Amino acid sequence: MAKENPALLIVTNMGPKPSAPFQGQFVANQVTELQGQGQAADYHYMRWHGDSLLNRLLKYPVFFLDFFWRFVLRRQRYDIIHVHFFYPTIWLALLYRALRHRQVKIVVTCHGSDIYHYQPPSQLYQWCAKQVQAWVFTSESLRQQLFFAPAKQQILSAGIQGQFATCTPRAFSEKDVDILYVGTLDKNKGMDRLITMLPTLAPYRIVVAGTGPWLATLQEAAKQYPGLTLVGAQSTQALQEWYQRSRCFINLSRNESFGLVMAEAMACYTPVVATDTDGARAQVFSNVTGYRVASQQDESVLIAQFTQAIQQILALPVEDYQLMQQACRRQAEPVLLPKVATTLRQLYQDLFHG
């Protein structure tokens, strides 16, 4: 009797580490949702992960050896391997194809820097890309930056957890946080920009949730600006409460392929102010779901525009703020994980039976 569902293995080079305990959590959430919908799936992620020099030097060799031991030598044979973060993770799928199953189908989800950081693409990168049967991009702008147009492709967010579907709107007056940031604390995410804006934003209550290399710098800034509160890494349940308590969510990224935290905030009826990135262009529409600051070239102009956009949201009339909240929710609903997983299951079926 023919199998109804393919044997699926999901692979990612992301994984939690002490300084970023929720890194790669969105992939794990996708696996859990697929399993909940009846698609059996095994999962391989970077289990040995940290910030030490030894880890940075050896984490990929260990990652590959761990994969070889757990899956190449395993009796179970997989029909489809879904790679999250194309390069260099794709080499695990190609290793499996070479040693275990020549007909295995490979699906790749590109998340951003797996394309951004490899331009122009090397010949080896291009060769690997041609071995993939189906591509998923987290935004249209990201898809356009791949060096060729794949025959089978689609735009699909990694998805935000289904529990965000239960959020209800809170009135502006019921919220006690003016500005919220959630994510990694590093330069790409714009923590230097946030620190530059702090003198102007000092009258507001700002909450920053996350960890990263800029944590110590932000801790020093918090001593000078008592309105700034650092709450560290937060669970999804805790984040949902922070989103609902906040009047405005900010995204200061230099590069962002989609930005799930923006979708999470909007699912919780919270408007977003964002820099002009691929992810913001897909979600943040000025005067509708928040404001997107156009300039990424001149830092002084960006800071001025971004600060002004925050002040605009916080000064909106009650009725206009409520309309923006409802638009945010409508924008986020297609990104809820149950819908994303359903789309992926159909993709797997098409490849398996095609």
> For 203-233, how does the pLDDT look when each residue is reduced to its tens digit (9 = 90+)?
999 999 999 999 999 999 999 999 999 999 9
Quick check: 21 pLDDT over 80? no
Which helix (H) or strand (E) segment holds residue 49: the answer is none
pLDDT of 2 reads: 53
pLDDT digits 0-9 by tens, 319-333: 999 999 999 999 999
Quick check: 20 pLDDT over 80? no
Summarize the confidence of residues 103-109 as an average pLDDT. Answer: 97
Q: 116 or 318, which is more confident?
A: 318
- 159 with 335: CB under 8 angstroms? yes
Domains annotated on the chain, with CATH? 8-159+336-353 (3.40.50.2000), 162-334 (3.40.50.2000)
Which helix (H) or strand (E) segment holds residue 87: the answer is none
Q: What percent of the chain shows pLDDT beyond 70? A: 99
| Total H helices, total E strands in the chain | 14, 12
For 175, counting Cβ atoms within 10 Å of its Cβ (0-12 exposed, 13-18 middle, 19+ buried), the class is middle
What's the CA gap between 28 and 33, in Å, rounded? Answer: 9
Q: Which of 328, 184, 351, 344 is nearest to 269 (CA)?
A: 328
Question: In the predicted model, what is the mean pLDDT of the chain?
Answer: 94
HSE-up (13 A, CA, CB side) for residue 11: 28
Instruction: Determine how β-strand 8-12 pairs with β-strand 80-84.
Output: parallel
pLDDT digits 0-9 by tens, 257-269: 888 999 999 999 9
pTM above 0.85, yes or no: no
